[in-house]
Amino acid sequence: MSSLTERVREAAMEAGADLVGFAPIARFDGAPPELNPRTIYPPTKTVVAVATRHLRGALKAVEEGTYWQAYNCDNYWYLNEVVAPQILRRVSLTLEEDGFVGVPVHNPFHPHSGRQIRDDQPDGPDGMVSLRIIGVAAGLGELGMSKLLLTPQFGPRQRVFAVLTNAELEPTPLLEEPVCDGCLSCARECEACAIGDTRDVTFTIEGRQFGHAPFDASACAKVHRGDDPRFSPFWNGTEAEGEQPSYSRFLQHRFRHLATCVGRGCLRACLDHLEKTGRLERKYNTPFIERPRWKLNEPPARPNADP
């Protein structure tokens, strides 16, 4: 019979995972308490990381400036709410069959929302972890300057989920060769100027240093959600003051998510760079970016706006 590690890997892959890795909990010894997997499941011995790739075509449609629903449905809602629960459930059940506990960790978070229950907890429920750092600790990849997880197979093009278990599984080695070459396409092409240009934010796992550039989450959020009319095609100038474009309301209602930027710098420019420089294992027949990138002119004037 194959080892439990192999059976967990097979269960995850059969359920739809593209990548699977195993991080012993000691790899999180340096993590801040509020981001430590132990805050969700204190007896954790292994963190199982699974990654599911984004559809490249859904990113391509945004790159062409033609279609946003595929990203918001397939790469966000479907991965988070359909594929991930299936994978996490299969992994957790595989662990349960051998008598172990598997706690599935979903995305997104509403972190540390409740009041503390026990004295030995660092904070109240729901706890939080960094799924990107879990991806690094489980050997799936490294963080790029952009702070996204980059893998040798897909670059920045995946989502990561996790199962915390009290089983001791065979560790996956940390990634040896870097994927990010520091080209800074991510920072140059980010309309929000949210990504810095030096790898100043660092952390260490088993003596290896990983890191990313400083990241301005609030600057990103406005452009990411399409709240800045300069960078969203969905403002048509008829919106009242304080009102979102109707398309933004549609996306949020239909897919419970609102991605308009779709990683112009951090995801799409990075992917194109890594593919064109031959740094990824996956090869395609046509380049990701094939013509000059779209960029909007001045935003449309709002009705009743001052001249």
Residue 195 makes contact with ligand SF4 by CB under 6 A: yes
What is the DSSP code string of the chain? ---HHHHHHHHHHHTT-SEEEEEEGGGGTTS-GGG-GGGT-TT--EEEEEEEEPPHHHHHHHHTTS--HHIIIIIIIIIIIIIHHHHHHHHHHHHHHTT--EEEE-SS--TT-S---STT-SS-SSP---HHHHHHHTTS-EE-TTSSEEBTTTBT-EEEEEEEESS--PPPPPP-S-S-----HHHHT-TT--B-SS--EEEEETTEEEEE--B-HHHHHHHHTT-SGGG-TT--S-PPTTPPPHHHHHHHHHHS---SS--IIIIIIHHHHHHHTT-SS---SS-S--SPPP---SPPPPTT---
The correct pick among 186, 251, 258, 280 for binding ligand SF4 (CB under 6 A) is 186
CB of 35 to ligand SF4, least distance (A): 20
Residue 149 makes contact with ligand SF4 by CB under 6 A: no
The correct pick among 59, 192, 251, 258 for binding ligand SF4 (CB under 6 A) is 192
Q: Which of residues 162-181 bind ligand SF4 (CB under 6 A)?
A: 180-181
User: By beta-carbon distance, which residue lies closest to ligand SF4?
Assistant: 144
Site string (102-141) toward ligand SF4, x via CB under 6 A: ----------------------------------------
Residue 280 makes contact with ligand SF4 by CB under 6 A: no
Selected range binding ligand SF4 among 69-77, 99-107, 126-134, 268-276, rule: CB under 6 A: 268-276
Site string (216-255) toward ligand SF4, x via CB under 6 A: ----x--xx-------------------------------
Residue 59 makes contact with ligand SF4 by CB under 6 A: no
Contact set with ligand SF4 (CB under 6 A): 144-146, 180-186, 190-192, 194-195, 220, 223-224, 261, 263-266, 269-270, 273-274
